[in-house]
Structure 1
């Protein structure tokens, strides 16, 4: 009986943890909240909110960052301020994929979509597989990504 209770507790704890993991719907919703803010209050306000880790745009490992669609320059990033102001378009991920170039090209061609790559998870500190929803609004690309388990 004790083993059953322990197993049940572990199963419930795992289910609870999984339920708290962000989903693709969460990423889309976060990017769309960002697009609404950009349209209502402008890009500068969005950059301030991202850099301040506003809870509307930063929730654990799910967060929005922003880049200029024409230049590829990172305009705001809540966890990696050292890349803000830089064009990292052709810097590859750990597997050699130029995912930022793909993000910019997809945003320019389609206005939105998903891009897969490897990136450092701010909650684990490890390079992990990630999928990011991108959304073009007023010349900037909002990116909200999920780490794959």
Structure 2
């Protein structure tokens, strides 16, 4: 979902400071802002009569984007998307799949600042997957009006930061780090970001965050859909430089589609630690 809190003085330019995670996410953010602006103007014009309009497919939906509205106590008043099942319910104590009380955070920011944003994880009904979502919100007449967009792909900077954390863990305790990398619900899996590790002495996977079946297998035999020998190329490149980047085609665990993947890697003793980001 996405939420927008609208003030009677008009929209706040809070979006300008945001840095979306990729070019695609930037376009989606702009779409969300435009839809929110239309919803805000409509609400300011007709007040609660707009709630019925927001609930219908049409002017106030844009593919997977939709408007939803809360009152300041946390009751959902209307929704044009998957949160329509929540209309009439007080959601202040609701948490997302990761346990985050995002509605409470949103309401707090609404009361304190009159506008803001909050990240959480929500069902994208366009492809029926749980994804990160970021709503823009403002307050108008004690109504929280919101539009959010899905962040389906991490950026290169986010992948780099994720790799740095993984490398630090490997340097501290390789065995503990590898165990953590292999946990499907661990801290080293975040949407489309995960870690995999290759033993340079054997070419075998010792860790893979999303595909347990690869652990212990010979990576030299692994090829992408275009026939590129992924691990063979990765090991060859690691012999020339301690860190770098490798491109190949791989399934994005969020979109469930084969996409261009750019694996950032760093050599730590006898291991290659890698984290990748996707581009469609």
Q: Give the TM-score, by structure 2 length.
A: 0.46
Find the residue that maps to 2:150 and give its secondary structure. Answer: helix
The CA distance in 1 between the partners of 2:275 and 2:222, in whole Å, is 19
Matched, 1:17 2:150: yes
Matched, 1:40 2:172: yes
Which segment is superposed worse, 117-126 or 73-82?
117-126
Task: Indicate if the aligned counterparts of 1:108 and 1:136 stay in contact, CA closer than 8 A.
Answer: no
Matched, 1:116 2:240: no
Cα drift, residue 67 of structure 1: 0.9
- The unaligned stretches of length 5 or more in structure 2 are 1-34, 39-59, 67-135, 137-146
The CA distance in 2 between the partners of 1:21 and 1:96, in whole Å, is 24
Q: Who is 1:95 aligned against?
A: 226
Cα drift, residue 10 of structure 1: 4.6
Q: Who is 1:81 aligned against?
A: 212
Cα drift, residue 7 of structure 1: 7.3
The CA distance in 2 between the partners of 1:132 and 1:76, in whole Å, is 15
Cα drift, residue 37 of structure 1: 1.0
1:20-75 deviation digits (Å, cap 9, x = unpaired): 6311111111111111111112x2111110111422x2110111111112221000
Higher helix share: 1
Cα drift, residue 124 of structure 1: 2.7
Aligned length: 143
1:69-94 deviation digits (Å, cap 9, x = unpaired): 22210001121111100112133210
Deviating 4+ runs (over 4 angstroms): 7-14
Find the residue that maps to 1:26 and give its secondary structure. Answer: helix
Larger Rg: 2
Aligned-pair Cα RMSD in Å: 2.5
RCO higher in structure (CA 8 A, sep ≥6)? 1
